[in-house]
Amino acid sequence: MTAVEHVRFDASGLVPVVAQDTNTGEVLTLAYANSEAVEKTLATGEAHYYSRSRAELWRKGETSGNTQSVVEVRLDCDGDALLYKVEPRGPACHTGAGTCFFTTLAGEGVGIATKKADGEAFGATLERLAGTIAQRHREMPEGSYTAGLIRRGPERVAQKVGEEAVEVVIAALREERLAEETADLVYHLLVLLEERGVGIEEVAGILSDRHG
């Protein structure tokens, strides 16, 4: 019996998958996988899922670059759920948050309202992303967009920040894709800070002094 044959898929041929950061223990997201996705995950060590909305197999990060390296795959006691223990490279959530679970249910007894988590989610995402960028800078792996950008020097990185800033202005005026363009700007700004040797804690300190 192969590993996948131990999994009890539902009537649609899917199994829920929880992705957990293997280093911090933080639960990152809940997704679904079919047998092909599980097989590809086990074979490649990269998280693969099945999109119910698009009805297709997808590799985490194939368009965003926010991939998940799978350290271990665990099957629950009933065989009908999986746990991917992963090392994330970038945010797990499409919103740019480090985890999809950033909304708190508030109320007496059963939750009766939703309350967005405070700035800790955004701050944690920035720290994680800055750490990933710093790692790319140290290792300079082939095929890495971040490493390739840094190789081109501070002038090109600064130029990209300017280009992305313009995209943010355009998105704001058009009232579309503002969050996505802002995420691109923040990423490139973090790359510039890393390339110039300025830590985000230094920036945070200045903001705190000015607005504390």
pLDDT at 54: 85
Within a domain: 19: yes
What is the structure's pLDDT at 113?
A: 44
What's the number of domains the chain is made of? 2
Q: Do 14 and 78 belong to one domain?
A: yes
Looking at this protein, which amino acid is placed at residue 98?
A: G
Look at residue 156 and tell me if it is in a domain.
yes
Is 46 exposed, middle or buried (CB count within 10 Å of its CB: 0-12, 13-18, 19+)?
middle
Q: pLDDT digit string (tens) for 1-50? A: 688 999 999 999 999 999 999 888 889 999 999 999 999 999 999 999 99
CA angle, 78 as apex, 74 and 84 as ends, to 5°?
Answer: 20
Query: Do 156 and 81 share a structural domain?
Result: no
Judgement on whether residues 83 and 135 belong to the same structural domain of the protein: no
| Pairwise CA distance, residues 12 & 80, whole Å | 13
pLDDT, tens digit, 9 for 90 and up, residues 107-121: 656 554 444 444 446
* pLDDT surpasses 90 at 195: yes
Whole-angstrom distance, CA of residue 185 vs CA of residue 175: 17
- Does a structural domain hold residue 197? yes
Instruction: Note the pTM of the prediction, 2 decimals.
Output: 0.54
What local confidence, expressed as pLDDT, does residue 115 receive? 47
Q: What are the φ/ψ torsions at residue 103 (nearest 5 degrees)?
A: -105, 130
Coil/strand/helix, residue 12: coil
pLDDT (tens digit per residue) in 44-79:
999 999 999 889 999 998 888 889 999 999 999 999
One domain, residues 140 and 207 = yes
Domain boundary among 65, 88, 111: 88
Residues 6+ apart with CB under 8 A from 22: 71, 72, 85, 86, 87
Cβ neighbours of 38 (radius 10 Å): 23
**Which of 67, 88, 109 lies at the terminal end of a domain, its last residue?**
88
Average pLDDT, the chain: 87
- Of the residues 34, 68, 88, which one is the last residue of a structural domain? 88
Task: Give pLDDT tens digits for 141-163.
Answer: 888 889 999 999 999 999 999 99
CATH number at residue 126: 1.10.287.1080
Among 129, 28, 36, CA closest to 86: 28
Residue 143, domain extent: 122-211
In a shared domain, residues 78 and 23? yes
Q: Is residue 96 part of a domain?
A: no
